[in-house]
């Protein structure tokens, strides 16, 4: 009961702060003319979104940081100190902020030059692996533990490979979340369900109260942002927001040693990125043929005639089903392992 109250409080604060900031941030971004430039290779009907303010992720970054920091610190004071799990949360929040900063630079370059280029892929990857390296080093300082939880097998020690696997997973998932941001409300809705089920997993595991607060704040912030981002979007989160959200989702799962559950809860993100890899590879191998009408795969469904609302609903429902499966695996495969 107490854990539920802390989670509800964090979610409510994050939701309220995000929603209120949007009321002032969007007119400010309009005034600065920080509008999104729409790619010419995208669906033609997206051209009407030209000029919609981007960098809107700033609103939920502020909301989530305030709610998480206040919630975890108050919980620590209430229970006699900040435990190791609380430290993992703050290290994770720092990692998410580093990714948000990379996204902010990318968005700023796009806005200033009025074109959808920003940082080069190599520049992004260098910064992202640097951020991942800093995160892993800080995690090592907090706990010299290289185990992950595998359902029905318990804790499995990966040794040195833990850092390699985790680093690749971090950069991969963060970029997958970034790619998923292409339709009004899509990334925010999927991430809401991902964080919701990660929060439920943390509750089932027990002794992860700071992670529960962290995940609840993330879910609340996503809902607060959807007020402004649901179709038709009044503001886009930009790379500032999507890279930050990628960092959030990853570090919530990693704080619980739930690397495998991250792959399941974030399956939509992975399928989105996989669709791009398959499309590009097949295009090069066949000299111009395509598997999908357009990639990422959410654009394929758009080209097939699905509305943005339908895509968001179906992809969110799929995420919820994957999250439920992950939750059941944890209940029956981890708590008794």
CB atoms within 10 A of CB 293: 14
CA–CA distance, 137 with 48 (Å, rounded to integer): 45
pLDDT digits (tens, 9 = 90+) for 108-147: 888 876 666 678 889 999 999 999 999 999 999 988 789 9
- Please report the DSSP string for 21-55 in residue order: HHHHHHHHHHHHT-BPPPPTTS-GGGGGGTT-B--
What is the distance in angstroms between the CA of the first residue and the CA of the last residue of the chain? 25
Report angle CA 7, 8, 12 to the nearest 5 degrees. Answer: 120
Mean local confidence (pLDDT), 17-26: 95
Which among 194, 186, 182 has a CA at the least distance from the CA of 258? 194
The mean per-residue pLDDT over the stretch 170-174 comes to 97
Residue 22 phi/psi, 5° resolution? -60, -35
CA 317 to chain centre: 17
Residue 2's pLDDT is 76
Residues 245-266 have a mean pLDDT of: 96
* pLDDT tens track for 69-91: 999 999 999 887 888 888 999 99
How sure is the predictor about 231, in pLDDT bands with cuts at 50, 70 and 90? confident
327 confidence band (pLDDT: 50, 70, 90): very high
pLDDT digits (tens, 9 = 90+) for 31-54: 877 666 655 555 554 556 666 888
Unique residue bearing structure tokens 């969007």: 26
């Amino acid at each position: 009961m107490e854990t539920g109250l802390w989670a509800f409080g964090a979610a409510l604060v994050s939701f309220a702060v995000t929603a209120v900031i949007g009321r002032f941030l969007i007119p400010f971004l309009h005034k600065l003319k920080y509008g999104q430039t729409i790619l010419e290779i995208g669906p033609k009907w997206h051209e009407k979104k030209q000029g919609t303010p981007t960098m809107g992720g700033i609103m939920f970054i502020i909301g989530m940081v305030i709610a998480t920091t206040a919630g975890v610190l108050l919980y620590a004071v209430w229970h006699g100190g900040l435990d190791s799990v609380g430290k993992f949360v703050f290290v994770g929040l720092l990692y998410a902020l580093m990714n948000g900063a990379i996204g902010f630079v990318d968005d700023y370059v796009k806005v200033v030059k009025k074109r959808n280029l920003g940082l080069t892929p190599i520049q992004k990857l260098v910064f992202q692996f640097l951020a991942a390296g800093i995160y892993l080093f800080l995690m090592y300082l907090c706990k010299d533990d290289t185990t992950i939880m595998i359902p029905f097998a318990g804790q499995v020690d990966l040794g040195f490979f833990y850092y390699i696997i985790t680093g690749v997973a971090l950069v991969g998932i963060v970029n997958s979340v970034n790619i998923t941001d292409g339709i009004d409300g899509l990334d925010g809705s999927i991430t809401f369900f991902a964080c919701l089920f990660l929060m439920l997993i943390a509750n089932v595991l027990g002794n992860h109260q700071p992670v529960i607060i962290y995940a609840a704040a993330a879910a609340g912030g996503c809902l607060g942002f959807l007020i402004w981002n649901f179709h038709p979007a009044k503001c886009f989160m930009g790379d500032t927001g999507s890279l930050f959200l990628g960092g959030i989702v990853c570090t919530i799962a990693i704080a619980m040693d739930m690397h495998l559950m991250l792959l399941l809860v974030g399956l939509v993100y992975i399928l989105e990125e996989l669709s791009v890899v398959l499309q590009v590879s097949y295009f090069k191998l066949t000299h111009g043929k395509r598997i999908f009408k357009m990639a990422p795969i959410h654009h394929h469904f758009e080209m097939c005639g699905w509305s943005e609302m339908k895509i968001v609903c179906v992809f969110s429902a799929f995420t919820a089903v994957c999250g439920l499966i992950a939750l059941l695996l944890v209940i029956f495969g981890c708590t008794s392992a």
